[in-house]
Chain A
Amino acid sequence: DAGVTQSPTHLIKTRGQQVTLRCSPISGHKSVSWYQQVLGQGPQFIFQYYEKEERGRGNFPDRFSARQFPNYSSELNVNALLLGDSALYLCASTTANSYEQYFGPGTRLTVT
């Protein structure tokens, strides 16, 4: 089975632009979470979605939003990009009642 996949692998954007990152969970996994990992730091929780509903939200501004589709894939959107949004964005998927998260390789976002 394929693992969690994320696209694109790398992305360069300019301040003020908007970006959309994509994640496909492991087949059979209905929950997707998003994390931001700034260089030299641990991942910070952004969102968790289950069955297309937001189940959890971290301490991020409203510029960050996400959604989950009927096939359980997910998108993370960030508006009005700031230099500080430069980071590795990780997606993780789990089964319905499991806390064991499987992480994708991430999308490296650079904001210039």
Chain B
Amino acid sequence: AQSVTQPDIHITVSEGASLELRCNYSYGATPYLFWYVQSPGQGLQLLLKYFSGDTLVQGIKGFEAEFKRSQSSFNLRKPSVHWSDAAEYFCAVGSITGNQFYFGTGTSLTVIP
């Protein structure tokens, strides 16, 4: 069965510190992988996506993610966190046909001064 696991429910980091949010997936075929961010009262915004090719993908707002097939992981990273990055982050996997999409339960990020 397809699933996405985000092991960390909540993470707190200091502003300027590095960040890594974990994501593991279970999918029977080649996955399409995504990271979204959701600020309070806002819809979901796409940060980055992986379809194929280079396993290190760059996204908006200085985020990057690395696809590791052997570990079924797609972890999100940022070298220096800004206070405005505080939000809920969701990892998602989609089918090649585009007609199925699965989100993880999310990781809430708090940034302290």
Contacts and interface: CB of A to CB of B under 8 A. Distances in A.
B103 A43 contact: yes
Contacts of B99: 48, 55-56
A104 B45 CA distance: 9
Interface string B1-25: 0001010000000000000000000
B83 interface: no
Contacts of A94: 98
A97 B96 CA distance: 10
Contacts of A40: 105
Contacts of B49: 99-100
A103 B90 CA distance: 13
Interface string B47-74: 0010100000000000000000000000
Contacts of A17: none
B46 A43 contact: no
Given A42-B90, A42-B105, A90 B98 contact: no
A99 B32 contact: yes
Interface string A36-51: 0000111111001000
Interface in B15-40: 32, 34, 36
A8 to B, nearest CB: 15
Interface of A: 4, 31, 33, 35, 40-45, 48, 55-56, 58, 90, 92, 94, 97-106
